[in-house]
Structure 1
């Protein structure tokens, strides 16, 4: 049997095409032995033939690769391996009429799990329908179209000029099979294979027995064929839709969800209620914040969802006790109901009492259900499947509680490494119940979350998760694999609209070189666990894959950090470009008496006497015990503990001293002597302002080159090295949070990898505009009026009325009108509509911003709706929706209005 590859493709000089695959003649996936294709310039086609056995059916897997002899590039076509089944007993010739599948095409994202598993999921109607078999004939065409964008009640059909394709009679169109969805197939024996056949694909409604959409563009053509006993496989290009697919979604953290069955906090079953509301209103996505376990201290500090003690384990606060089993003890049942009423009556998540209740009743349920649980085959399957992270996690939690800290460096020597994990998790271990409780909780959390995910998928709603960029310093991950992180460093973010001194997350930074040694196995496992629950994912601070803001361990604020990896300046380069180099003036805190007077007013002398000393020639230096911000933090922690009544005063003094420590122009590199990084926002420092004019000019040139030119290609290479293993570890739809100081190379790399960017109106990517407009967003992006790190639209509206007025006129188009003092419902509606009509693939709204359109449903005080305040490092995450989700699903008037807005924007129908 002859197999012929045929592919139309225009190459540049020095480029050629090969096909690599499972057959020996295709190199058996060894690219060095791939089949070379031959080019026919008249047809513009690359082709070649191989022989296959004709005595039995078989399968060939293959893929096309573009080789560039000029630069050595090896570019594999996008998508999974191609596969073709053959039967030499029926056909003597198999012709593969393929098209190159280019990467970085918007249509490619329709093949992700968000679409194939949820939005456009095929109905569960038993075994898939097999492809229509052609009648026995000399020449058969197998129509094969990859088309995920088909509503669950519709099918793909083909209609054409040949009588076998209906002779353009729409009632006689050939319906394709979805057996291999998202690929549709049907075999047709053409009546007149020796003549050209024109055809088009359509969307078929089997209930109405009619075509509801015929694709755009010119007719497709099948050239005439004279070959006998030939099967021609037409692997066609994309269905030509008149418009791009667009959808809308809602964002709300799980902890913020309120339901009648909750226990003072949102729980995984509440996702079903929010899914119901999304279906009612035409929304197709529910976005949440990270849901991993953050229990490190058993205090309010643990409310921060981006400091997980395990990147795999789920947070116990989301456990629905009722969904496990009823409490058999009547007194316990009564106590639980009383606590439910008390905690649900609060207008915020009272984290510590909530968690105390969860732990208490989870322990009771564990003891009650222990025998059945430990004998449950489903638990043993879960434990075996998740063993690599689950067993260390349960041991870690037991040790954390036994020794009163998650800082494993403070545990007894024998437990500072995970060497004894196997001992601790044995069923016959003396303290197994302390471990068994966490097995029990994680098993039920996983079960409850997967039930909610399955519920959403079957209703065409995507659940979108959130991947934090960092890991917690005192976590299972750091305990088990410390070699993967730089534990002596801190990750954060440079100054931005959220925080003028930068953000210090205190997470260790990644040891990317070590991670690369095993092909980024830790990242692939992490992504695989997330794909267990989510079909779409937001990657927090995706810039961290290009470079992270790395802060030395002695800093509290972020200003003395630097990008890593980076290309720091050698002392000689600074000297050459600045004209001089003086370590004391450039790299040590610049402190003068007038600065103390400005910061501390009448207390300047007292502050000097306690914390500083004369350095000569008008210079002042900090005393040895307060040279760094960490030392300052320690000193003032003691002062506040000894004199809590004056806490506010001590915090004010500490803040002033922090600012003095930041008064440097260059930050020494932590790895290489005599190398330096310009301090971020250096022109805002007093040290810079007191340089002479010429030195200021030269310093600005050094600064601008360093931050905006020097690293562009370097950081692009970093992103292209680290992101693909993460991006392609799963089939989730990936959205990157790319706000802030974005290198110019980032959007291009994200586009090449099919990752959606984020467009927030108040944080435009274009530095030349004050506000972004949703109309300017690219298709592969998410538009949103805000994020969890910002005030809501209503809160922002009242922060700066001068800015609000400019927004009202320039973005909302109310030229010459006075903006309302408060964000009235009609204003919130205009902002929502503007986002809905954006060309972006997704418009996702914080639920608070949608409720702002209703005078009856929105919260009284908008300041109570903000989830996080990044500028406040001690902020507690306690926001809770003021309406039960059960009530929201019954607000028929508002829900109809929402559905109409979404429908009019074209974000409800798939075509």
Structure 2
């Protein structure tokens, strides 16, 4: 069969178009076919292929310049060519170049598989002598709706056919109709697209604008001509939805085991659907088990980017233990742990792991023979075997630090191969971890499918980093800079910045294989979720990298960044010695101000004289050395002394570039320290100008280019809806990239992005955003209200437009007022914390608002243990509360449809 592809695209000199045919294998390279042109605008390519009716090929176009790809179409939704005519001999396609549309979120699986889920099917195979096929995209349609065609002439129904000619949705949001060209009795067709009900013949809406026309080409027997048309336009308001965010570990039901599990998550999906919500967002659910202590409760420090956390296993869905005494033992333990107000991470995980090991001994022989298990193992063995090996050696050596695994500091390919062979001893030693992950995978998939059935978008969370001691750093160290620490500069969460302890990424290595590490990671996540939050998207522009010998974040620098030469610094008029400004500024007055009555102790023990001041003694000249000297649990007085020494060490105006000793970076927030205060007024002015240029202007285009190398690859890896956490010190280029790639921003009214404002104006939020009032990193709405009465009064008066004195604590009616206003924002999604929803009901909410806090970012050793104070069953049965939520959501125009 002859296939001819035609497209109009105006190229520049030296550019050429390429047709890329996609195979069924996700990892396979596209089949490239150079195209031809006579005028640099009209491009064509003809191929001969053997095809069968009822099959199809997908393809996209790209622009090539000097032998490499310069640009490509939006290939998340490629062109589709169906072979839908049993008598076809020649197919001719007239295509249009497809860029990412402004409504790209409607093509995400969050919409096509959840909110507007419809049954899709290929066109029925026809037996026409000559066929015209029309393709059009109509992403505005909701569930229960279909596209049809109505037009002039008897064959097209003379505009009168009640529901037009039925079209087939053969790929998400793209509809196609096959027409018998011999029955069209004029040289052109005049028509419009209409929206019809799926179960009736009524036209719901006609397409906007003038009638469409297509002139029929000269055709011979066996010809099929396909026209790809401009998107259908309908007067439908923008979709907006509401949802809840809650950590899985925080869920509580009558049958859970002291921590939320995937069975509880199912119950939350049902509750969300019953209250007209469209989204349920969770925190990361990957395994964080490193030390088997409460420190592993931090969900953003995973030991595997694939493995799910064993604590989320719903034991109720597994076979019961046959031993009655052991069964009774675990049931008593379950009831005891489930009655606790917070998660006891260590006891819960010890109990659930113990239960799973006993159940493994009882059930493994049967489970290992299941077809579903064998399929799971084969589909996941690439990450599953190294994960099992990591867990095995972690427990065998009593540490996750693989540098201390004598003989196993690096993975042994022979041992990994043996661990994948059921006949070996090593396989039997690690099979427990296969069993655990198999159960978790099945349970999480069931949650995902239930959410899709109920039209609830399940939204996951992608941490920006991985644990320094993780499967990935053990097996793929080339992707990481293990000599640095990722974190964040000072912000509203922490005056000293945040040190997350993660290694930073070696982006040169990651880009060398097209970000395969990221695309595979996202591909796995898409098996469980239809939307995701990119934690700290700023890290894809630049990451805040902190030296390995630093404790807090002030001594970090952005990577990559354009360091400054000493000549550049001098050109700003800074007259101070730049060599001296990279060393801590320590004088008697500084020591007296920081340490008071312990100043003499500092002078005699921690510093030594240098010129007209002091330097840190070698044994205390880094924050890590100071940390080690004071131990894990210093007294309150010694903690103040230690923190003062940290501040002394970071009292510099510049930090040295991590790779080029001849370049410097101004120290973040240096104006708050005494090294800055000691400058002359002239030098302060010069430093301020240099500082502002460096942090707010120097890198905009540079960081834009960095992000555009990485984020498009992530965006095309899956069709999950991409949402970003874009808080903090946000460069001007961040919204440029997010707008171009249709990534949803995060908008929090109490953390405005407009400088000089105290509160954000809800009406100014962009449509492509997620609106919320609090997050897991902030106080809840109620706690925030009582933190600062003056601030609350300002909000009460200027944002809520109420008279009088703001009430404290926050009454339910006021919480409902704030929630209602959040819901009315233009944002595509309004996703509130469960605590903020509950705040609207004074009878249901937790009495102590402070006990609802999930995380305190300023504390790097925070214990993540918050749990709901009531069972999901009780919340779901509270008719008054749920009716109130439905009314709020209905009134805002965010209710469920279809």
Is contact 1:56-1:88 (8 Å) kept? no
Change over 3 Å in CA distance of 1:579–1:599 after alignment to 2: closer
3-state SS, counterpart of residue 413 of structure 1:
coil
**Which of residues 515, 530, 533 in structure 1 aligns to 2:528?**
533
* SS at structure 1 position matched to 2:292: coil
Distance 1:68 1:349, change over 3 A: same
8 Å Cα contact 2:114/2:455 also seen in 1: yes
1:76 maps to 73
Distance 1:500 1:671 in 2: 27
Q: By how many angstroms is 1:333 displaced?
A: 1.4
Decide which of 133, 139, 144 is 1:153's aligned counterpart: 144
Q: Kindly report which structure 2 residues correspond to 1:623-772, keeping only aligned pairs within 5 A, or say none.
A: 623-637=617-631, 640=633, 647-772=635-760
Instruction: Determine helix, strand or coil for the equivalent of 2:177.
Output: strand
Give the 3-state SS of the residue equivalent to 1:221 in structure 2.
strand
SS where residue 199 of structure 1 aligns?
strand
Q: CA 1:265 to 1:909, structure 2 compared with 1: closer, same or farther past 3 Å? A: closer
Is residue 2:203 matched to residue 1:211? yes
**Deviations, residues 644-684 of structure 1 (Å, cap 9, x unaligned):** xx622221211111111110000011211221110001111
- CA–CA separation in structure 1 for the residues paired with 2:283 and 2:672: 34
1:782, distance to aligned residue in structure 2 (A): 1.2
Residue pairs, 1:399-798, within 5 angstroms: 399-419=393-413, 420-423=415-418, 427=422, 434-580=429-575, 582-583=577-578, 585-617=580-612, 619-637=613-631, 640=633, 647-798=635-786
Q: Distance in 1 between matches of 2:122 and 2:292?
A: 56
Residues 189 and 499 (structure 1), Cα distance of their counterparts in 2 relative to 1, 3 Å cut: same
CA contact (8 A) 2:566 2:578 kept: no
Residue 902 of structure 1 deviates from its aligned partner by 1.5
SS at match of 2:727: coil
CA shift for structure 1 position 149: 4.4
Whole-angstrom CA distance in 2 between matches of 1:418 and 1:68: 43
| Residue in structure 2 matching 1:824, options 799, 808, 811 | 811
Q: 1:859 aligns with which of 841, 846, 851?
A: 846
More deviation, 706-715/625-634: 706-715
The correspondence of residues 876-891 of structure 1 with structure 2, limited to 5 A, is 876-891=863-878
Q: What secondary structure is seen at the aligned counterpart in 1 of 2:368?
A: helix
1:313 aligns with 2:307: yes
Per-residue Cα deviation, 1:489-546 (whole angstroms, up to 9, x for no partner): 1110011001010000111111111222222222222111111211111111111111
> In 2, Cα distance between the equivalents of 1:864 and 1:653?
30
Shift of 1:6: 5.9
Specify the alignment match of 1:813 in structure 2: 801
8 Å contact kept, 1:392–1:476: yes
| Compared CA separation, residues 404 and 78, structure 1 to 2 (3 A) | closer
Aligned twin of 1:355: 349
Q: For 1:302, which of 296, 299, 320 is the aligned residue? A: 296
Report the Cα offset of residue 841 of structure 1: 1.6
| Alignment partner of 1:115 out of 91, 96, 111 | 111
CA distance in 2, matches of 1:37, 1:808: 67
Distance in 1 between residues matched to 2:435 and 2:881, nearest whole Å: 41
Alignment correspondent of 2:25 = none
Cα offset for 1:38?
5.0
The 2-side partners of 1:494 and 1:505 are apart by 11
Per-residue Cα deviation, 1:174-207 (whole angstroms, up to 9, x for no partner) = 1212344443222234755425543222222243
Tell me if structure 2 keeps the 8 A contact 1:149–1:910.
Answer: no
Matching of residues 362-373 of structure 1 within 5 Å: 362-373=356-367
What are the Cα deviations for residues 371-416 of structure 1, in whole angstroms up to 9, with x where unaligned?
Answer: 2123333222222221121111112112111221111112213445
The answer to which of 544-553 and 646-655 deviates more is: 646-655
Query: For the structure 1 residues 345 and 692, does the alpha-carbon distance in structure 2 shift closer, same or farther, using more than 3 Å as the test?
Result: same
The answer to whether the Cα contact below 8 Å between 1:783 and 1:838 also exists between their aligned partners in 2 is: yes
Q: CA deviation at 1:870?
A: 0.1
Does structure 2 retain, via aligned residues, the 8 Å contact 1:120–1:151?
yes
Separation in 2, partners of 1:14, 1:610: 71
- Alpha carbons of 1:759 and 1:15: their partners in 2 closer, same or farther (altered >3 Å)? farther
Could you tell me which residue of structure 1 aligns to residue 26 of structure 2? none
Match of 2:19 in 1: 20
TM-score after normalising by structure 2: 0.93
Is structure 2 residue 859 aligned with structure 1 residue 872? yes
Q: Equivalents in 2 of 1:793, 1:243: separation in Å?
A: 30
Q: Does 740-749 or 227-236 show the bigger shift?
A: 227-236
TM-score calculated relative to the size of structure 1: 0.91
**Could you tell me how far 1:469 is from its partner in structure 2?**
0.6
Deviations 1:680-718 (A, max 9, x none): 011111110110100000001111111111111111111
Q: Is the 8 A contact 2:541 2:703 kept in 1?
A: yes
> What residue is the counterpart of 1:240 in the other structure?
233
> What is the CA distance between 1:596 and its match in structure 2?
2.5
Mapped partners of 2:364, 2:220: distance in 1: 69
CA distance in 2, matches of 1:400, 1:55: 53
- The alignment partner of 1:386 has SS state of helix
TM-fit CA distance, 1:65 = 4.3
Q: Note the residue ranges of structure 2 that are not aligned, 5 or more in a row.
A: 23-28
Answer whether contact 2:468 2:502 (CA < 8 A) is retained: yes
2:84–2:123: 8 Å Cα contact kept in structure 1?
A: no
Please say if residues 84 and 124 of structure 2, whose CA atoms lie closer than 8 Å, have aligned partners that are also in contact: no
Matches within 5 A, 1:25-44: 33-36=34-37
Partners of 2:341 and 2:869 within 8 A in 1: yes
Aligned partners of 1:2 and 1:49 also within 8 Å: no
Pairwise mapping of residues 52-67 of structure 1 onto structure 2 (< 5 A)? 62-65=59-62
Please name the residue that 1:843 is paired with: 830
Asked if 1:101 is matched to 2:98, the reply is yes
1:222-233 correspondence runs (5 A):
222-223=214-215, 227=219, 231-233=224-226
* Cα pair 2:856 2:862 within 8 Å, conserved: yes
Q: Which residue of 1 aligns with 2:179?
A: 188
- CA deviations 1:21-58 (Å, max 9, x no partner) are 559xxxx977783132758xxxxx94758586899879
Counterpart position of 1:643: none
**Structure-2 change in CA distance of 1:516 and 1:901 (3 Å):** same
Q: 1:747 to 1:91 in 2, by over 3 A?
A: same
1:323 aligns with 2:317: yes
